[in-house]
Amino acid sequence: MSDFVLTEEICEALARVAKKKSRSLGVGVTFSVTDENGNLRLLQRFGDAILPSLEISPKKAYTAAVLRQSTAEFGKIAQAGGSAFGINVTDNKLVIFGGGFPLLVEDKTVGGIGVSGGSVAEDEEVAHAVLDAFAELTR
């Protein structure tokens, strides 16, 4: 899959998974997909997702894509005492709490996803369902 392309169809399929999972949890979320450079490919708001999620979700996807790690992982080093403390103040597009994950194909980052609107645990549960579906799509 070295010539992998994150198509519109794949982005839409991932959004359907996010919508289904968020509905099963009874929580409204906003779901985003970016390419490997953090450029927004898809943004959808489901249910009664809180309005700030429209800003936060794409930033989670951006962070995960450009830093090639989950936002929760990144958040650990961005906390006081961490090696990247304060970076989120320097670059206001970076998010330092859970809900953003890179999309990987053969250990290469090909994009990022962001889920926002529920608790961090709910956002991550939706994201993990999407990651599972992405893994199936890219086998």
Residues 35-79: tens digit of each pLDDT: 999 999 999 999 999 999 999 999 999 999 999 999 999 999 888
CA distance 9 to 108: 20
CATH number (3.40.50.2000, 3.30.450.150, 3.40.50.720, 3.40.710.10) of 8-137 reads 3.30.450.150
Gyration radius of the chain over CA positions: 14
Residues 6+ apart with CB under 8 A from 109: 36, 65, 68, 102, 103
**Residue showing tokens 């990022």:** 112
- The larger pLDDT score, comparing residue 88 to residue 19, is at 19
Maximal CA-CA distance, the chain = 42
Q: What confidence score (pLDDT) does residue 2 get?
A: 63
pTM for this model (two decimals): 0.95
Q: Which residues pair with 103 in a beta bridge?
A: 111
% of the chain with per-residue pLDDT over 70: 99
